[in-house]
Amino acid sequence: MTSRIPVIPTLLVLIGVGVMIRLGFWQLDRLHQKEALLARYGAAQAMNAEVPYLPATPDIEAQLYRRAGANCVNVRAISARAGHDAHGRTGWAHVARCVLQVGGEGDVVIGWSQSPQSPVWTGGMVHGAIAPGPRLIADPPLAGLAANARPDPNDIPNNHLSYAMQWFLFAATALVIYGLALRKRLAAGGGEG
C-alpha cells in the first residue's frame, strides 16, 4: 500500500513552517537586543556630564540621548520640519545646519514654533541632547523659539514580541490549514483500495 500523503506539498509546508518559526525566534533575539539598547539610551539620558556634539564620528550612536554642547560658527540654512513642542503640541521644529567649531557640520534643532517661517539665528553656543539623526536638540531653545520636545528613548517602538507571536501564529495556522486539507484528501481517498 502506497502513502497517500503528498510528499512535495508536505515538504514545502514544513519548510515554510520552519522558516516562520525561525523568524519568530529571530524576533525574540531582536527583542532582547532592543531592550539592551533602550536601557543604554536610558542610562545615557540620565548622565549629567555634557559631551561635545560630533555628528560625524563613527561612535555617535553611543552618544545618543546624552547631554551635549556645540559651537555653531556658521549657519548654512534653517529649515522647518514637522515636530512637537515640550507640551506635545504639533507645529514646526526649526533645524539649523551648522558648521561646527570642532569641524564638520551638524543639524541643530534650535526650537519650536507654530509657524514654518524660519527665525533669524546666526549661530553660537548650543546646549541640549543628542537625538537620532543625529541632531542636537537645543535646551534651552534659541532665537526666541519655544522648547522642542526632548528626545526620549521611550518613543522608540519595541514591538518585537508581538512580531514573534505573529510568526508563531502564522506557523501554527499553516499547520492547521494543511492538516485539515490533508485530512479531507485522505478521507476522500479512503474508500479506494
Bond prior to 9 in cis (omega within 30° of 0): no
pLDDT in tens, 82-118: 999 989 999 999 999 999 998 899 999 999 999 999 8
pLDDT at position 193 over 80? no
pLDDT in tens, 63-84: 899 999 999 999 999 999 999 9
Q: What pLDDT is stored for residue 159 in this prediction?
A: 94
From the centroid of its chain, how far is CA 188? Answer: 51
Q: What percent of the chain has pLDDT over 90?
A: 72
Average pLDDT over residues 185-189: 82
Q: What pLDDT is stored for residue 62 in this prediction?
A: 85
Average pLDDT over residues 148-160: 90
Average pLDDT over residues 25-31: 97
Residue 80 pairs with which residues in a beta bridge? 94
Q: Give the residue from 105, 123, 134, 111 showing the smallest Cα distance to 44.
A: 134
User: What would you report as the CA-atom Rg of the chain, rounded to the nearest whole angstrom?
Assistant: 27
pLDDT at position 146 over 60? yes
Please name the residue that has the C-alpha cell 524576533.
27
56 pLDDT tier (thresholds 50, 70, 90) = confident
Helix (H, G, I), strand (E, B) or coil at 124: strand
Please name the residue that has the C-alpha cell 549657519.
75
Q: What pLDDT is stored for residue 23 in this prediction?
A: 97
pLDDT at position 190 over 90? no
**Contact status, residue 105 vs residue 41, Cβ threshold 8 Å:** no
Q: Give the residue from 121, 143, 126, 110 showing the smallest Cα distance to 72.
A: 126
Determine how many CB atoms are found less than 10 A away from the CB of residue 177.
Answer: 11
Average pLDDT, the chain: 91
The C-alpha atoms of residue 119 and residue 134 are separated, in whole angstroms, by 22
Q: In the chain, where are the structural domains located? A: 67-155
pTM here is 0.75
